[in-house]
Chain A
Amino acid sequence: LEGMTFQLKYLGVTMVEQPKGEELSAAAVKRIVATAKASGKKLQKVSLTVSPRGIILYDSASNQLIENISIYRISYCTADKMHDKVFAYIVQSQHNETLECHAFLCSKRKMAQAVTLTVAQAFKVAFEFWQAAK
């Protein structure tokens, strides 16, 4: 409930057409990984806190807030099959209706799975709260 924090590396973002889907997210992750590799830049270290309220991202080096994403804007999360150390989620942009897929590199495959399962747990708890509040 109070949140779980993970140390990850931010790979990047790409637009997607739909809020969910295995093939859609796999294609998005593929694009993000290719772009990150092509840029050759060092990846930004981030701390990602998951709770039933949503996801909060901080820059690990500066402790600056990057984004606070409400659970209601997140549509989907996944541990990628092809890139098994990659965790990704799809979120509706705060500024317009566009959907973005954000991807993060984990140190281990198990960690990508743990982040994904933690976000899934947050979805479940948020849904229980929402139902109770109705």
Chain B
Amino acid sequence: NTNTIHFDNPVYQKTTED
């Protein structure tokens, strides 16, 4: 099995402002 499981975070560096 040569598949790497990896995920990007879609909220990385998104601001937490409401």
Report A's interface with B, CB cutoff 8 A: 19-20, 22, 25-26, 70-81, 92, 113, 116-117, 119-120, 123-124, 126-127, 130, 133
Contacts and interface: CB of A to CB of B under 8 A. Distances in A.
B10 A78 contact: no
A78 B9 contact: no
Which 10 A-B pairs have CB atoms at the shortest separation, nearest pair first? A78-B6, A120-B7, A127-B10, A81-B4, A75-B12, A79-B5, A123-B9, A126-B11, A116-B5, A130-B11
A75 B15 CA distance: 13
Interface residues of B, number: 16
Interface of B: 2-16, 18
Contacts of B16: 70, 72
Contacts of A120: 7
